[in-house]
Amino acid sequence: MKTTKSHLTVYEREKLEYLRRTQLSVRAIARIMHRDHSVLSRELRRNATEYSGYRAATAQVCFERRWRKKKRGKFEKFPVLRQWVVGQLRDELSPEQISGRLKCKPPVELQGITVSHETIYHYIYEGEGRYELLYRCLKRGRPKRQRKFGRKHRRSLITERISIHQRPEEITSRTTFGHWESDSMIFSKQHTALSVQCERKSRLVRIHKVPDKSSEATHQALRETIESLPQTCFQSITFDNGLEGQCHYEIKKEYGVETYFCDPYSSWQKGTVENTNGLVRYYLPRSVDLGSLSDQEIYEIQEKINNRPRKCLNYLTPNEVVAQFLA
C-alpha cells in the first residue's frame, strides 16, 4: 500500500540511494518503498547529478533549502481559515461560493481575510485536502479536476414552436424577472423522472417528481410551478427539443406564458437549467432509486439549492433575490 506522506524522509532518501545502486528500475524501487513511482522520479530528476548520481545527504540539503524558501500558504498562516473553509465544504458549498461569501459576509474571526476559489481548489486537489478526501464534498465528487465538456443533444420536431432567436433581448440579457427554462432528468433502471424549472435571473428552481418524460407529465409539473407563484413571476419558458416540450401550446393557452425553443443539438442555449441539473445530481446521482424518495424529500433538496449562495447573484441565494423582487 502506498503511503500518503507528501515528502520523502531522510531515511527514505537513504533507502532510495541504496536501491539505485542495485540497478533496479524506478517502478521496482517504488513497489519496495511503497511510494508512487512519480514521486521517486521527481526526486531523482531534481537531485541526481550527471557525475555523482543520487546522494541522499545532498538531496536532503536541497529539499530543506527549497522548503525554507517556500512561501507559506493562506491555510498555513491562518489555521482558523482552513478550519472554516473545510467546514463550508462539508456543508456542500462550492469553492467559489465560499470565497465570495467570505468577502461579503465574513465570520467575526475572519474579518479582513480573503481566499480565492483557486486556492481552495488547490488545497482540495494538491494540498492536505487530498488526504481528507475533500473532493467528495464537491458537486461532481471527482478525484481529479476536469474540464467541462458539452453534452450531446437530441432533436425533436414540435409544432408551432417559436425559435429562441425570436426571444426578446430582455430575456436573453436577464434584465427582467419571470423568465424560466425547463428540462427533464432521467435515472437509471426506472421510468420515474424529474421535471426541473429554473428562473433565469434569480436561479430559483422548482423540482417535481414525474412518472415519465412524457408531455402530459411535464404539463402537470409546469402547472404546479406556475400556480405556486404570483402571476408576474412566470412570463416565459424556454425548452429544448425533447418531446416533453409538446405541451407548450397548452401552457401558453392556459396561462398566457410565452414559449421558446432552443436550436436542435443546442441545449447549451438554456444553460441555466442545465447547470441546475448538475446541482441536483449532487444530491440525486443517476443511480439513485427515485421511487423511494417522497415529495417532501424532493422539496428539501429543492430548497437546499434555493438557499445556496451564487457567484452570479453576488453571493446572494435565489430565495433572497426573489424576496427582494417581491418586496
pLDDT in tens, 94-113: 999 999 999 998 999 998 89
Grid coordinates given for 217 = 407529465
Question: How far, in whole angstroms, is CA 315 from its chain's centroid?
Answer: 16
Beta pairing partners, 239: 261
Which helix (H) or strand (E) covers residue 59, if one does? helix 56-69
Query: What SS3 class is residue 180?
Result: strand
pLDDT at 242: 86
Instruction: Band the pLDDT of 71: cuts 50, 70, 90.
Output: low
Q: What is the Cα–Cα distance from 272 to 97, expressed in whole angstroms?
A: 17
User: Which pLDDT score, from 0 to 100, does residue 157 have?
Assistant: 63
DSSP 235-248: SEEEE-SSGGGGGH
Nearest to 195 by CA among 179, 217, 178: 217
* pLDDT-based confidence at residue 249 (cuts at 50, 70, 90): confident
Q: What are phi and psi of 154, to 5 degrees?
A: -105, 145
Instruction: Say what the pLDDT of residue 318 is.
Output: 96
Look at the alpha carbons of 98, 100, 105, 110 in this order and tell me if their dihedral is positive or negative. Answer: positive
Cell (9 digits) for 326: 417581491
- More confident: 96 or 150: 96
Q: What is the pLDDT of residue 4?
A: 46
- Mean pLDDT across 108-135: 86
Secondary structure (3-state) at 184: strand
Q: What does the DSSP assignment read for 102-123?
A: HHHS--GGGTT----HHHHHHH
Give the C-alpha separation, 50 to 48, whole Å: 7
Residue 324: CB atoms within 10 Å = 11
pTM > 0.75: no
C-alpha cell at 120: 481552495
List helix spans (H) across 70-203. Answer: 74-77, 79-90, 95-104, 117-125, 169-172
Q: Where are the beta strands (DSSP E) in the chain?
A: 179-186, 193-199, 205-210, 236-239, 258-261
Supply 68's cell numbers: 525554507
Q: Provide mean pLDDT across the span 244-248.
A: 87
